Amino acid sequence: MKYVFILILFCCISCSTDTSKMFKETPILLKTSNQRLKTNFDSCLSLTRQLINKQISEKEFSEYFHFNNIASGFEYDNVILGISDSLSEMPKSYQIFYDFVYKGDTISSFRSDFDANIKIIDYRKFHLLAFRKFIDKDLLITKTKATEIALNNGMKEKDLDLILNCTTDKFYWKCENKCDNCLYLEIDAKTGNIIGRGKVVNRY
Domain hosting 45: range is: 28-135
| CA separation for the pair 68, 65 (Å, rounded) | 9
Q: How many domains does the chain have?
A: 2
d(CA 125, CA 171): 13
Q: Are 124 and 176 part of one and the same domain?
A: no
Residues 38 and 57 in one domain: yes
pLDDT at position 203 is 62
Residue numbers of the chain with a pLDDT score lower than 70? 1-26, 202-204
Q: What is the pLDDT, as a whole number, of residue 30?
A: 93
Looking up residue 190, the CATH number of its domain turns out to be 3.10.450
CA distances from 132 to 55, 64, 78, 100 (A): 6, 11, 36, 10
Residue 174 lies in a domain: yes
Other Cβ atoms less than 10 A from the Cβ of 166: the count is 13
Backbone CA torsion sign across 105, 24, 22, 132: negative
Task: Supply the pLDDT for residue 18.
Answer: 38
User: Side chain identity at 73, as an amino acid letter?
Assistant: G
Residues 6+ apart with CB under 8 A from 34: 87, 88, 89, 90
pLDDT of 36? 96
Residues 51 and 86 placed together within one structural domain of the fold:
yes
Q: How far apart are CA 203 and CA 80, in angstroms?
A: 28
| Confidence (pLDDT) at 26 | 65
Q: What is the pLDDT of residue 77?
A: 92
- What pLDDT is stored for residue 133 in this prediction? 95
- 119 within a domain of the structure (yes/no): yes
| Domain shared by 193 and 98, yes or no | no
Q: Tell me: do 154 and 87 sit in the same domain.
A: no
What lies within 8 Å, CB to CB, of 63 at 6+ separation is none
According to the model, what pLDDT value does residue 200 have? 75
DSSP per residue, 64-129: HEEE-TTT-EEE-SS-EEETTSB--SPPSEEEEEEEEEETTEEEEEEEEEEETTS-EEEE-HHHHH
Say if 14 falls within a structural domain: no
Residue pLDDT, tens place only, 17-72: 333 334 446 678 899 999 999 999 999 999 999 999 999 999 999 999 999 999 99
In the prediction, which pLDDT does 204 show? 55
- Is 56 found in the same domain as 80? yes
Please state, in angstroms and rounded to a whole number, the distance separating the CA atoms of residues 52 and 105: 19
Length of the chain: 204
